Amino acid sequence: MIKKICCIGAGYVGTPTMAVIALKCPNIEITVVDSNKSRIEAWNSSNSNDFPVKETGLDDIINVVRNKNLFFSSDIEKHIDESEMIFLAVNTPTKKEGKGKGFAADLTNIDQCAKQIAIVSSSDKIIVEKSTLPVRTAERLKQIINKHKQDDVSFEIISNPEFLAEGTAIRDLYKSDRVLIGSDQTNKGLAAMESLVKIYKNWIPEERIIKTNIWSSELSKLASNAMLAQRISSINSLSALTEKTGAKINELSIAVGKDNRIGDKFLNVSPGFGGSCFKKDILNLVYICRQYGLEEVAEYWHQVVKINDYQRKRIFNIINSSLKELKNKRISILGWSFKKDTNDTRESSSIPISSDLIINGASLKIYDPLADKKQIIQDLTTYLESKNLDLKEITCLLSQVKINNTLSECLSNSNAIIVLTEWDEFRQIDWQSYKLNFVDNVLPHIFDTRNILDIELLKSLEYKVLQIGNGDSNIK
């Protein structure tokens, strides 16, 4: 029985996952470690508002288990050495330079962990790949570990990819559709797998625990994300066609999704998928296919990301041409996080769309219920830097941006309103009162890129409104 776990990486995956294991397995002592000291301090704060990751239900769990059997620490070496099982939950972004730049996963963090584990471990360990990794990473880890480890210490590497989605992380961890564990098909590999199966069996029914070889497990994670993103790109690509033909994308999603073989999930039209993983994981898949000489397969998956970029540009173009002239237009941006119920803004479609609006002269008021104000400015700055703008130009463009504390502030006095994240708060806007209180002569145009507003009501109130893929919109 495993008694001590160390998890390297106190982020969106490491902390929620370990919090749930700690809650369900009170006899296991878990320490989450991170090289980012301020992150660890934030998780140790007595005020849950300081926690770096916002997830429904997470604060409650942490309040129950923290300093009982869940600990947060910056003493990485000590906790590696004291543990029997070590989860790697570090970030694996797309490489920014070197071989595979722009496509391959940057494994620097993973490599560093493997080396550190090998050097400091004085007893046998099971290493669990929790991060999303290219297929055959376990082989690479073995090589690093064998180079640095002490002679009498042995390691087993298993793969246990995480499938939680942000915003519903705790619910997903409680009731996972499946838990996937891959190992070497040796006695030692299978024993390591069983020790992790025992942990999950505390709350996951055994029939939902899938056991595979290690390569299937690593690759299934990339395949799952690619196929989820593919559905979104499929529906978003069709939204361009429904607009042209008078069809409605929401009706099409329902009609198509009612076929049990297709299913109704992940068919919501959007300004493109965001989040830290879909794009990077597909680009990684593309890179791996190319490495094996599978150019057609690589191109097939690459198209999913290309359609996502196309959807973002398409939406900007629609807004630009509908408003005729963006210069000096006051535009309200509703939503900055990449989806509702999370403060995570990584790869959010709000970033490129808003940046293009300010580059073309619009002034923005931005409101998001959870996203951090500094993060919003950072996101815009990073994006504008990627367009090769210099500091002076960026400072000038950022002076066109105001971030509001409330929705009503953000909505006031605008020429256009763009819904970019599907927050429930936006569904509840009282458009009638808003109209009555509106001071300008011309009501703002409303662009609903998530199709969450009641278009018939808005039209009856004489708003000009456009929904993506809705041939019935009264802005063309």
Which residue ranges make up the site for ligand UGA (CB under 6 A)? 132, 162-166, 225, 228, 232, 266-268, 270, 273-275, 277-278, 338-339
CB environment 14-47: b (16+ within 10 A), e (fewer) = bbbbbbbbbbbbeebbbbbbbbeeebbebbbeee
- What is the Cα–Cα distance from 173 to 176, expressed in whole angstroms? 5
The residue sitting closest to ligand NAD, measured at its beta carbon, is 11
Q: Which does 380 bind (CB under 5 to 8 A by kind): ligand NAD, ligand UGA, none?
A: none
Smallest gap from residue 40 Cβ to ligand NAD (A):
9
Q: In the sheet that 125-129 helps form, which strands lie side by side, from edge to edge?
A: 70-73, 29-33, 4-8, 85-88, 125-129, 155-159, 179-183, 209-213
Smallest gap from residue 173 Cβ to ligand UGA (A):
11
* Nearer to ligand NAD (CB atom), residue 87 or residue 426: 87
Structure tokens at 138: 């376990």
Amino acid at 162: E
Task: Report the helix count and the strand count for the chain, using DSSP H and E.
Answer: 19, 14
Say if CB 2 and CB 28 are below 8 A apart. yes
DSSP annotation of 276: S
Q: Which does 73 bind (CB under 5 to 8 A by kind): ligand NAD, ligand UGA, none?
A: none
- Reference 196, options 233, 232, 150, 157; nearest CA is 157
CB environment 298-327: b (16+ within 10 A), e (fewer) = beebbbbbebbebbbebbbebbbeebeebe
* Nearer to ligand NAD (CB atom), residue 44 or residue 322: 44
Smallest gap from residue 220 Cβ to ligand UGA (A):
12
Structure tokens at 49: 């508002």
- What is the Cα–Cα distance from 332 to 83, expressed in whole angstroms? 50
Q: Which does 243 bind (CB under 5 to 8 A by kind): ligand UGA, ligand NAD, none?
A: none
Smallest gap from residue 39 Cβ to ligand NAD (A):
5
Cα angle 69-75-76, degrees, rounded to a multiple of 5? 90
Smallest gap from residue 470 Cβ to ligand UGA (A):
15
Q: Which does 228 bind (CB under 5 to 8 A by kind): ligand NAD, ligand UGA, none?
A: ligand UGA
Smallest gap from residue 287 Cβ to ligand UGA (A):
17
Q: Which does 8 bind (CB under 5 to 8 A by kind): ligand UGA, ligand NAD, none?
A: ligand NAD
Amino acid at 87: F
Q: What is the dihedral of CA 384, 389, 393, 398, to 10 degrees?
A: 0
Q: Which does 9 bind (CB under 5 to 8 A by kind): ligand NAD, ligand UGA, none?
A: ligand NAD
* Nearer to ligand NAD (CB atom), residue 169 or residue 466: 169
Biggest CA-to-CA distance, the chain = 80
* Nearer to ligand UGA (CB atom), residue 161 or residue 444: 161
Q: Which does 339 bind (CB under 5 to 8 A by kind): ligand NAD, ligand UGA, none?
A: ligand UGA
Cα angle 141-226-168, degrees, rounded to a multiple of 5? 90
Radius of gyration of the chain (CA): 24
- Reference 301, options 315, 321, 282; nearest CA is 282
Smallest gap from residue 154 Cβ to ligand NAD (A):
22
Residues within the interface to ligand NAD (CB under 6 A): 8-14, 34-36, 39, 76, 89-92, 109, 112-113, 131-132, 162, 164, 166, 276-277
Smallest gap from residue 235 Cβ to ligand UGA (A):
7
Q: Which does 384 bind (CB under 5 to 8 A by kind): ligand NAD, ligand UGA, none?
A: none
Instruction: Report, as residue numbers or ranges, the catalytic residues.
Output: 277
**Alpha-carbon distances of 274 from 119, 233, 270, 352, rounded to whole Å:** 37, 12, 10, 11
